[in-house]
Structure 1
Amino acid sequence: MTQIAEARKFYARLLAAHAGSADPRLEAVFTEVPREAFLGPGPWTVIAGNAKLETPSADPVHLYQNVLVALDAAKGINNGEPFLHAMWIGKVAPKPGEAVTHIGAGTGYYTALLARLVSPGAVTAFELEADLADRARQNLEPYGNVSFIHGDAVTGSLPPSDIIYVNAAVVAPPADWLKALKPGGRMIFPWRPAERVGLAVMVTRTEKGFACDPFMRSWFIPCVGASLAGSMAKIPDRDRAARSRSIWLTANKAPDRTAVAVIGDVWFSSRDIRGRLAS
Structure 2
Amino acid sequence: MSELEDIRTFYARLMAVNAASSDPRLEEVFASVPREAFLGPGPWTVITGNGTVTTPSADPAHICQNVLVALDTDKGINNGEPFLHAMWIGKLAPKPGEAITHIGAGSGYYTALLAKLVSPCGTITAFEIDENLAGLARKNLETYGNATIVHGDAVTSPLPPSDIIYVNAGVVAPPAGWLKALRPGGRMIFPWRPAERVPLAMLVTRTEKGFACDPFMRAWFIPCFGASLADLAAKIPTREQATRSRSIWLVEDRQPDRTATAIFEHVWFSSKAVSVRG
Range class of TM-score, shorter chain = over 0.9
Match for residue 64 of structure 2?
64
- Say if 2:270 is the partner of 1:269: yes
Contact 1:71 1:77 in 2 (8 A): yes
Match for residue 29 of structure 1?
29
Alpha-carbon displacement from aligned partner over 1:182-224 (angstroms, at most 9, x marks no partner): 0000000000000111000000000000000100000000000
How many residue pairs get matched? 274
Distance 1:36 1:3 in 2: 16
Alpha-carbon displacement from aligned partner over 1:116-155 (angstroms, at most 9, x marks no partner): 0001200000000011111000000010000110000000
Cα deviation for residue 273 of structure 1 reads 1.5
SS at structure 1 position matched to 2:74: helix
What are the within-5 Å matches in structure 2 for residues 25-174 of structure 1?
25-119=25-119, 120-174=121-175
Match for residue 190 of structure 2?
189
Match for residue 198 of structure 1?
199
- Say if 2:217 is the partner of 1:216: yes
> What letter matches 1:5 in structure 2?
E
Contact 1:3 1:61 in 2 (8 A): no
> What letter matches 1:194 in structure 2?
A
Distance 1:190 1:271 in 2: 21
Match for residue 254 of structure 2?
253
> What letter matches 1:24 in structure 2?
P
Q: What TM-score, normalized to structure 1?
A: 0.97
Runs of 4+ displaced beyond 4 Å: none
Q: CA RMSD in A?
A: 0.6
Distance 1:180 1:44 in 2: 37
Contact 1:262 1:268 in 2 (8 A): yes
Alpha-carbon displacement from aligned partner over 1:227-263 (angstroms, at most 9, x marks no partner): 0001100000111100000000000000000000001
> What letter matches 1:73 in structure 2?
T
SS at structure 2 position matched to 1:74: coil
Cα deviation for residue 272 of structure 1 reads 0.6
Distance 1:22 1:55 in 2: 33
What are the within-5 Å matches in structure 2 for residues 226-237 of structure 1?
226-237=227-238
**Alignment gaps of 5+ in structure 2:** none
Distance 1:233 1:244 in 2: 16
- Percent sequence identity over matched residues? 73
Distance 1:212 1:102 in 2: 19
Cα deviation for residue 38 of structure 1 reads 0.2
